[in-house]
Chain A
Amino acid sequence: MEHHAPTTEFLGMTFNLSNVLMITIASAIVFILAVVTTRSLAMRPTGLQNFIEWVMDFVKGLIGSTMDWKTGGRFLFLGMTILMYIFVSNMLGLPFAIAIDSELWWKSPTADPTITLTLATMVVVLTHYYGIKMKGAKEYGRGFVSPLKFLFPFKIIEEFSNTLTLGLRLYGNIYAGEILLGLLAGLGGAGIAGALGAFLPMLVWQGFSIFVGTIQAFIFTMLTMVYIAHKVADDH
Chain B
Amino acid sequence: MFNSLILGAGFAAGDILFQLVAFIVLLALLKKFAWGPLMGIMKEREQHIANEIDSAEKNRKEAEAFLDEQREEMKRVRQEAKAMLENQKQMADQQGQELIEAARLESERLKEAATAEIKRERESAVASLREQVASLSVMIASKVVEKELDERAQKQLIDEYLDQAGDQK
Q: Which of B16, B39, B48 has the most CB of A within 10 A?
A: B16
Q: A7-B10, A43-B44 are in contact. Are A118 and B30 (CB under 8 A)?
A: no
Interface string of B9-20 (1 = CB under 8 A from A): 111111111111
Q: Which of A11, A20, A49 has the most CB of B within 10 A?
A: A20
- Docked complex: A37-76 residues within 8 A CB-CB of B: 37-38, 41-43, 49, 52-53, 56, 76
Partner of B38 from A13, A20, A41, A109 at Cβ < 8 Å: A41
| Contact (Cβ within 8 A) A34 B34 | yes
CA distance in complex: A49, B23 (Å): 23
| Contact (Cβ within 8 A) B9 A112 | yes
Partner of A14 from B12, B41, B48 at Cβ < 8 Å: B12
Residues of A within 8 A of B29 (CB): 31
| Contact (Cβ within 8 A) B7 A19 | no
- In the complex, whether A96 has a CB less than 8 A from a CB of chain B is no
Q: A53-B42, A56-B39 are in contact. Are A113 and B19 (CB under 8 A)?
A: no
| Contact (Cβ within 8 A) A31 B14 | no
- Docked complex: A2-32 residues within 8 A CB-CB of B: 5, 7, 10-11, 13-16, 19-20, 23-24, 27, 30-31
Total chain A interface residues with beta-carbon distance under 8 A:
42
- In the complex, whether A81 has a CB less than 8 A from a CB of chain B is yes
Main secondary structure of the interface of B (DSSP, over half): helix
- In the complex, whether B139 has a CB less than 8 A from a CB of chain A is no
CB contacts between A and B, total, < 8 Å? 120
Q: A14-B10, A16-B10, A31-B26 are in contact. Are A112 and B15 (CB under 8 A)?
A: yes
| Contact (Cβ within 8 A) A118 B16 | yes
| Contact (Cβ within 8 A) A34 B30 | yes
Pairs A–B under 8 Å by Cβ, sample size 27: A5-B10, A14-B11, A14-B12, A14-B14, A14-B15, A15-B14, A15-B15, A16-B10, A16-B15, A19-B18, A20-B14, A31-B30, A31-B34, A34-B33, A34-B34, A38-B35, A41-B40, A52-B34, A52-B38, A56-B35, A56-B39, A56-B42, A80-B35, A114-B6, A114-B11, A114-B12, A115-B15
